[in-house]
Amino acid sequence: MELIDDAKTKKSAEQIEKLIIGTWEFEKLTDSNGKTISEITHFINDTITANEVIWRPSMRIEKNGTYELIGCDNPDNCESGKWEYDREFKLFRMTYDKPRYNVPIDKLAPGLLEQLRESGSLIEFTKNEIEFAEITQTELKVFELLESDGTEFKYNLIVYRKK
């Protein structure tokens, strides 16, 4: 926790809450050294890999405390809700209008949905918390944390430009 706290923006909560208002368009994903990443290979198991072409939705952050993800590749993946900046933990928290799940519940048979609930395999998500590496009038850099053993801070940066 301390490693990421040291890397977060040093802007005050008041500055962040003012600067965040607006529409932020995804520009690129970079590694911690600023090198652009255009594709990531995910290893599913010993024989299956998947290549992800890097893209993230844009964000519209309103002064009234609401937000919306826009330009999603799949409209079902776009979300909206309320936002707040947690001053104690220095987190930007987005609470969804509708919960999200680890499986597409609208496509499951009712019996299977109930089995997943009973087994504890159905996971409900109600919010997303992100941490800012930097925010200016025109640029927002958000940490995308990578797997780590806890002794080092591994991350990529999602870079947005204000529209």
Amino acid symbol at 29: L
DSSP letters, 124-155, are EEEEEEE-EEEE-SSEEEEEEE----SSS--E
Say whether 27 sits in a helix, a strand or coil: strand
Query: What pLDDT shows up at residue 2?
Result: 66
Query: What pLDDT shows up at residue 81?
Result: 98
In the chain the domains, ranked by start, together with CATH numbers, are: 2-162 (2.40.128.280)
Per-residue pLDDT of the chain (163 residues; tens, 9 = 90+): 566 778 899 999 999 999 999 999 999 999 999 999 999 998 888 888 899 999 999 999 999 999 999 998 877 778 999 999 999 999 999 999 999 988 888 888 888 988 998 999 899 999 999 999 999 999 999 999 998 877 788 999 999 999 9
Query: What pLDDT shows up at residue 9?
Result: 94
pTM, full prediction: 0.86
Query: What pLDDT shows up at residue 53?
Result: 92
